[in-house]
């Protein structure tokens, strides 16, 4: 019987190709100040707080600090509870920040 190995982690973040790509997007969003508005951040954070994988202040699946990750435009939940697909294109301005649409 073959034993399953845990994914290696550095500082709580799993070392996978998917996590590296996600980290790169997060860095880009941080450098370009591409963030969601407060309403979207609150929605995302509320979903995280209700999740069985949330171990304040981090997600046990991706290892991210959710107070920060939920602000970034390109971020998404590793199990798709929230994602960038939930944002309408009209709610994002040229700087990458979301705007109110009425």
Q: What confidence score (pLDDT) does residue 90 get?
A: 38
Mean pLDDT of all residues in the chain?
A: 81
Q: What confidence score (pLDDT) does residue 98 get?
A: 47
Q: What is the pTM of this model?
A: 0.71
**DSSP element (H, E) containing 10:** strand 9-10
Judged by average pLDDT, the poorest of 21-25, 43-47, 92-96 is 92-96
Comparison of pLDDT for 51 and 7, the residue scoring more: 51
Q: Which two tokens stand for residue 39?
A: 């309403």
- Kindly report the backbone phi and psi dihedral angles of residue 16, in degrees, each rounded to the nearest multiple of 5, phi listed first: -135, 165
Q: What confidence score (pLDDT) does residue 19 get?
A: 79
CA dist., res. 24 & res. 77, Å (int): 15
Q: Residue 63 — very low, low, confident or very high, per pLDDT cuts 50/70/90? A: confident
- Kindly report the backbone phi and psi dihedral angles of residue 71, in degrees, each rounded to the nearest multiple of 5, phi listed first: -85, -20
């Amino acid at each position: 019987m073959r034993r399953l190995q845990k994914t290696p982690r550095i500082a709580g973040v799993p070392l996978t190709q998917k996590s590296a790509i996600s980290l790169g997007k997060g860095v880009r969003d941080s450098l370009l100040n591409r963030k969601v508005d407060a309403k979207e951040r609150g929605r995302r954070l509320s979903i995280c707080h209700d999740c069985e994988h949330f171990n304040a202040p981090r997600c046990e699946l991706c290892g991210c600090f959710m107070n920060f990750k939920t602000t970034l435009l390109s971020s998404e939940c590793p199990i798709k509870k929230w994602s960038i697909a939930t944002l309408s294109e009209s709610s994002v301005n040229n700087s990458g920040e979301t705007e109110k649409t009425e």
